[in-house]
Amino acid sequence: MRGSGWMVALVVGLAVGCKGGGSGSECRATMIPIPAGDFVMGCADAEACQEDEAPVHRVATPAFEIDSCEVTVAQYAGCVRAGACTEPSSYSPQCNYGVPDRGSHPVNCVTHDQARAFCAWAGKRLCTEAEWEKAARGGCERDADCEKESPSWPWGAEEPSCGRAVYAPCACRGTCEAGTRPDGASPYGVLDMAGNVWEWVADTYHETYDAAPADGSAWEGGTDRVFRGGSYLSPAGALRVTNRTFMDPGDETDALGFRCCRTPGSPGPAPDATPPPDAPEASDAPSSASDADSSPGPGDTLPTEDQ
């Protein structure tokens, strides 16, 4: 998200409808298990990647589970009704909460604290950055030569297409429904790890991976929080599995949402938590977003997605 292309991507995102091979949602009601073990994190290609994606290093994560899709408006609305979450911002017409027919879209325009609150209510937590990248690219249990085999995108080495991801050339005047690009699934079957909305993770931002945790835990000690995966505004390069960017945790943007992870055996959700991800449309969510242009918000001042 660096450079001068953010507003160009924004115009593209607003000018087109959904394109290219999207299907009905294939989000799962159960989380996807990710096995314990090593994976290779980061990027060694100095031409294609940014300095903050280096150095490449091995990380050994414990077993964990991850949502198959990004958290939807309908799911988040259940947390708001329960009083455990606050309503997302409606600064932009592309903010999904409270908008008719967007209950199955990813919730966006949420701060880091709002994302954490939802995951806690659901008996989960935000994914660590290492967990997110492992779920997106695969672990060494899949390939003994995993240090050599480094996929650029969740589905492998082939360039992005509208059949695999919701990104700038094929956005839906904003986000698309979650889980409608099964051809873009990660090696574990996790959907929408590239495009639709960026995803908050637990870690604070550091300029390189020097001294990063090797056990898959969240890296603290900074101020800004990391988000991953690219969005409906992104060019193809921003969808890379190693690409990372950051923002003040108190800010939000219409291109940013989240998904949750869970440690096996952790306590379950709150009694009033709605079952993911097949919750009904959030028709009773307050209709606070406007179809008219809203005043500038954090997304209007973010660096651009021209990687």
- Above pLDDT 90, what percent of the chain? 70
| pLDDT tens digit sequence for 178-226 | 999 999 999 999 999 999 999 999 999 999 999 999 999 999 999 999 9
131: Cα within 13 Å, side-chain hemisphere = 28
Mean pLDDT of the chain: 84
Note the pLDDT of residue 73. 98
Domain 1-307 sits in which CATH superfamily? paralog of FGE (formylglycine-generating enzyme) (3.90.1580.10)
- pLDDT band at residue 299 under the 50/70/90 scheme: very low
Note the pLDDT of residue 149. 62
Note the pLDDT of residue 276. 46
Interatomic CA distance for residues 216 and 223, integer angstroms: 19
Average the pLDDT over 41-46 and give the result. Answer: 91
Interatomic CA distance for residues 301 and 307, integer angstroms: 17
Interatomic CA distance for residues 29 and 161, integer angstroms: 26
User: Is residue 298 within a helix (H) or strand (E), and if so which, with residue range?
Assistant: helix 298-301
The alpha carbon of residue 161 and the mean position of all alpha carbons in its chain are separated, in whole angstroms, by 18
- pLDDT band at residue 21 under the 50/70/90 scheme: low
| pLDDT tens digit sequence for 57-81 | 999 999 999 999 999 999 999 999 9
Q: What secondary structure letter does DSSP report for 89?
A: P
Note the pLDDT of residue 23. 63
The alpha carbon of residue 206 and the mean position of all alpha carbons in its chain are separated, in whole angstroms, by 19
Note the pLDDT of residue 173. 78
* Domain locations along the chain: 1-307
- pLDDT band at residue 270 under the 50/70/90 scheme: confident
Average the pLDDT over 136-153 and give the result. Answer: 81
